[in-house]
């Protein structure tokens, strides 16, 4: 992702657990991590490194545009997004992920807080979390920063090629056809009879003979 991530504060995960947290020996299956943004942001991307989290739900606290007095509302942008193909195996457990606004159920605009709900139903792993969390804002639509330089330099397919200095292709094609026709005529008019080196009308010319 091009551009710089927004300034934010990632709070420590809070475990959701039923029963006495001190006495119960089993591990919680759900953690909640809140990310507080310095100012309202239109989110383009959320990137992170997984650490044994199987499923992720993303909720955002957003303000209504044009209504300063209305209270901010929590909305769900992504629900139970799979990060591990199988919660009991290693696949995807420590991969990097990026979530884009095009994947989300609601447009994450004017967001002040992002809430990540992490689930791991497997008891195989002692801990699970998300690391290196970064949030990127929407870039200006007119900006070319999101377009790779190599892509912008490609000649469009509909743009005609520069033919200055090259011969007319139609004239070249016509000349080749004429040369081919002349070759065919010459080959067909050649005699199949063999002519001797000094044979003239079936006789030898005395002047063509050499004496040794």
pLDDT of residue 28: 75
Q: How confident is the model at residue 161 (pLDDT cuts 50, 70, 90)?
A: low
Contact between 33 and 100 under an 8 Å Cβ cutoff? The reply is no
User: How large is the average pLDDT for residues 36-59?
Assistant: 96
- 42-46 mean pLDDT: 96
Residue 11 makes CB contacts below 8 A (sequence gap 6+) with 33, 34, 35, 36
- If pLDDT is split at 50, 70 and 90, which confidence band does 64 have? confident
Can you tell me the distance from the alpha carbon of 200 to that of 196, in angstroms, rounded to the nearest whole number?
A: 8
Q: How far apart are CA 76 and CA 39, in angstroms?
A: 20
Averaged pLDDT for residues 26-39: 88
pLDDT of residue 93: 95
Instruction: Calculate ∠ Cα 144-4-53, nearest 5°.
Output: 115
Fold of the domain built from segment(s) 8-141: Jelly Rolls (2.60.120)
| Mean pLDDT lowest among 8-12, 17-21, 30-34, 130-134 | 17-21
pLDDT band at 144; cut points 50, 70, 90: very low
Residue-range domain boundaries for the chain: 8-141
Query: Which of 54-68, 110-124, 162-176 bottoms out in mean pLDDT, i.e. has the lowest?
Result: 162-176
Predicted TM-score (pTM) of this structure: 0.62
User: pLDDT-based confidence at 190, cuts 50/70/90?
Assistant: low
Give the pLDDT score at 60.
96
Identify whether the C-beta of residue 95 lies closer than 8 Å to the C-beta of residue 145: no
83 within 8 A of 53, measured Cβ to Cβ: yes
Q: Residue 181, CB half-sphere, CA atoms under 13 Å: how many? A: 6
pLDDT of residue 150: 47
Mean pLDDT, range 50-54, rounded to an integer: 96
Higher-pLDDT residue of 210, 111:
111
The pLDDT of residue 66 is above 60: yes
Average pLDDT over residues 195-203: 55
Question: Which of 66-70, 136-140, 148-152, 168-172 shows the lowest mean pLDDT across its residues?
Answer: 148-152
Mean pLDDT of the chain: 78
């Amino acid at each position: 992702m091009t551009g710089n991530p927004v300034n934010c504060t990632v709070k420590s995960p809070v475990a959701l657990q039923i029963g006495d947290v001190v006495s119960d020996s089993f591990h919680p299956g759900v953690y909640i991590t809140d990310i507080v943004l310095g100012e309202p942001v239109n989110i383009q991307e959320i990137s992170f490194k997984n650490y044994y989290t199987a499923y992720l739900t993303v909720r955002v606290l957003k303000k209504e545009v044009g209504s300063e007095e209305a209270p901010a509302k929590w909305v769900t942008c992504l629900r139970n997004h799979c990060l591990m193909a199988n919660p009991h195996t290693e696949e995807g457990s420590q991969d990097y992920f990026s979530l884009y606004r095009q994947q989300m159920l609601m447009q994450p605009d004017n967001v002040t807080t992002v809430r990540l709900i992490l689930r791991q139903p497997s008891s195989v792993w002692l801990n699970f979390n998300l690391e290196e969390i970064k949030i990127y804002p929407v870039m200006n639509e007119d900006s070319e920063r999101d377009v790779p330089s190599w892509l912008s330099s490609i000649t469009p397919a509909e743009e005609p090629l520069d033919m200055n200095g090259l011969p007319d292709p139609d004239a070249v094609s016509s000349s080749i056809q004429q040369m081919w026709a002349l070759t065919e005529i010459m080959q067909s008019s050649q005699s199949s009879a063999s002519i001797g080196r000094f044979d003239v009308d079936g006789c030898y010319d005395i002047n063509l003979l050499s004496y040794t």
